[in-house]
Each structure stands twice: as structure tokens, then as C-alpha cells.
Amino acid sequence: MSLAMLSLGARSATRTQLLESLGFNLTETPDLAIHQGFQYLIYLFNNSDTGLEMNMGNVLFLDSQIELMETFMTEIKHYYYNVEVSSADFQNSTRAKKQVNDFVKNKTLGNVDQLFKELDSDTMLILISYIFFKGRWAKSFDSNVTGMQKFYTSENVSVDVSMMFQSGANNHLFDKELSCTVVQLEYSGNATAFFILPDEGKMDQVVAALSRDTLNRWSQLLQDRHVDLYIPKLCISESYDLEDVLREMGMMDLFTNQANLSGITKEASVQLSEFLHKAVLSIDEKGAEAAADTALNVVFKSYHPVIKFDRPFLFIVFDHFTWSSLFLGKIMNPV
């Protein structure tokens, strides 16, 4: 979404690289249709009751000596792109770093307090995408039975984690084709989560197969059956500099002096200095309903299938209203 927004100010080959790298066929889908599509998606997100504690958006920091084009700002507002634009004095790197870090800390409810450790005084433009997510389960886990168990970060290496437990009917399946187990858990409000547990050595295979078709196939094969479910309680964060990723996707000019962002600023030589993404994810027992106390009865004596997320797994959150993914993560180490 943030890159599509950025394309409003890109020109020539830079614009083409941006949009085609995002998967759009520009001979079939004109710019207007692309931005109207994002406009409608943003509208649906903002008007659906996700019931989630979530804050997501984008911010564009520009050097104070750079002047924005009025047409760029007008189009951003017209299509409701969730982006804020701020001026920063990058010549004073200490002050600029504090300004940027404080902004992100505020937007992520204090969970991300040091996005930047250093800022280059040559920086002219920074685009940051941020998200904080914490869901509340429709059927909560019982905190009384959460206990320490082993999580295997690799075959021979483990860490101790707080493992949550839930016994009851949940949608789940085993995909023989991809060698993975999938569990669906509902959030209060308009959201659902897929927990995907690949068999040993199958993580790369599952990741490579992740697509809308795969997710649709899973949703049709899921069966609501009784299961004893163990999921680690966690609060994790990770940050990414997306420059190499975007280059591999085909955005070759964006970070070079060949970049044409003349639709954003009046200075034609401006290029994107950094494109950072930092995500924070918290999963705990809390749900919309009071925790049931029957789980204690099945912890030590159970004849139900057991699914234990005690090794690296994948996690996807969907908005029911649009069936769009709000969050996608690979959990390698819950602590």
C-alpha cells in the first residue's frame, strides 16, 4: 500500500518498476484503477469491526530543505492513503533520529522505541511502514494452565517458553501435500488467524507455497473437531530494511540517482534513502469471553488429538470482511 502511494509521485521507469514489481499489469490495469482499488480497500478496513488492537500506517519524512509538490499531496488525500508527511532536519542527525523514533514509538503504543540507532546526515527522504497488532481471542485460553515448556528453535536447540493450552473444538487440518498442520482461531470482531506448523524440514516448502489459492484450499478443507492445542505465549518484534527485497522484486532505480520521484518534490534528484518496516506481535491468553476453567480437567488425561506449536511456525491474520491479510509472520523464536 505504501509503495502504491509512492508511485503517485514516481515518473517514467521508476513508476513502471514500482507498479509492475507489485504485480500489476499496466497494459491491463490503468493507474486510476490501481489507486481506486487501494482506496476501496482502505475504506473497508476502516469500516469493518476487526475487534483488534492494531495500529498500522506509513510516514514519509522529508528533509526540511525539500519542497513537496501540491499535486502529490492532493492525490494522497484523494485516495485516502494512510500516510503522514513530516519535515525533518537531517543535517542535525541527532534531532532527526529522535523525531523519527518518537513518532514511531507513539504510533506503536510505545512498543517500538528505537527504530533507528543512527541516521545519515545525507538522508533526504525516508518512508516507514509500521504495524502494531494484538488480538483478543473469541475463545480465550485459560491462563491458569499456561506453563513452561520447550520450544525447539532447531533440531537440537530449545528455549523455555510459556505455553498456552486450550482443549475444545477448533478448525484444523493436516495438509499431506505440503506436510503441515493448520489451525484456525477466531478473534473477537471481524478477524481470524491461521497458525501453520510445518513438519520438520518443511518450512521453506510451506513458505514457497503460500498464496491466495493455498489459503482458499485450506479454508475449504478445515474441519471443526476437538483438539488439545498448545501455542506459545509471545511478544516479539523485528525490523527490516527492505532495500534489497525491493531490488530483487524489480525496483532497480528507486534507491539510486536514476530514481525519478519528480512528482513528489520539486528537486528532481531526490531518491529514496531507506525503506524500513518494523513489526511487533503479541499473543497471550486473553479473549472476549471469560476464561473457562474446564481445561484443567483435560490437561493430564486426554484422548483428543494434540497439536503443539513447539517449533518454528507461521502466523497469518485475516480480515473477514475483505479476506485480506493484516499480518504475516514466521515465528522462529517466541522469546
How far, CA to CA in Å, does 185 sit from each of 136, 179, 181, 320?
11, 20, 13, 12
Residue 287 in domain:
no
- Domain CATH code at residue 217: 2.30.39.10
Q: Which residue has the cell 488439545?
A: 228
Whether 96 and 84 map to the same domain: the answer is: yes
Task: Give the model's pLDDT for residue 295.
Answer: 30
Give the number of domains in the chain.
2
Binned at pLDDT 50, 70 and 90, residue 248 comes out as: very high
Percentage of the chain lying above the pLDDT 90 cut: 42
32 pLDDT above the threshold of 80? yes
Say if residue 149 is in the same domain as residue 245.
no
pTM of the model: 0.82
d(CA 104, CA 121): 20
Burial of 77 (0-12, 13-18, 19+ CB in 10 A): exposed
Query: Looking at the domain assignment, is residue 46 inside a domain?
Result: yes
pLDDT of 216 strictly over 70: yes
Give residue 56's domain range. Answer: 2-134+236-280
Query: Do 32 and 123 reside in the same domain of the chain?
Result: yes
Nine cell digits for residue 33: 484503477
Closest to 121 in 3D by CA, of 103, 86, 104, 97: 97
Residue 164 contacts residue 230 (beta carbons within 8 Å): yes
Q: DSSP letters along 196-257, please?
A: EEEPTT-HHHHHHH-SHHHHHHHHHH-EEEEEEEEEE-EEEEEEEE-HHHHHHHT--STTST
**Is residue 19 predicted with pLDDT exceeding 80?**
yes
Rounded to whole angstroms, the Cα distance separating 271 from 333 reads 36
Domain shared by 114 and 224, yes or no: no
Could you report the per-residue pLDDT of 61-94, keeping only the tens digit for each?
A: 888 888 888 999 899 888 878 788 889 898 898 9
Same domain for 28 and 161, yes or no, is: no
Categorize the per-residue pLDDT at 115 as very low, low, confident or very high, splitting at 50, 70 and 90.
confident
Nearest to 326 by CA among 48, 113, 39, 15: 48
The mean pLDDT of the chain is 85
For residue 33, the domain's CATH number is 3.30.497.10
Q: Which one, of 132, 182, 194, 164, lies nearest residue 287 by Cα?
A: 164
Give the residue from 42, 6, 30 showing the smallest Cα distance to 319. 42
Same domain? 129 vs 54:
yes
Mean pLDDT (whole number) for 82-111: 87
Domain-located, residue 187: yes
pLDDT single digits (tens) 42-67: 887 777 665 666 677 778 888 888 88
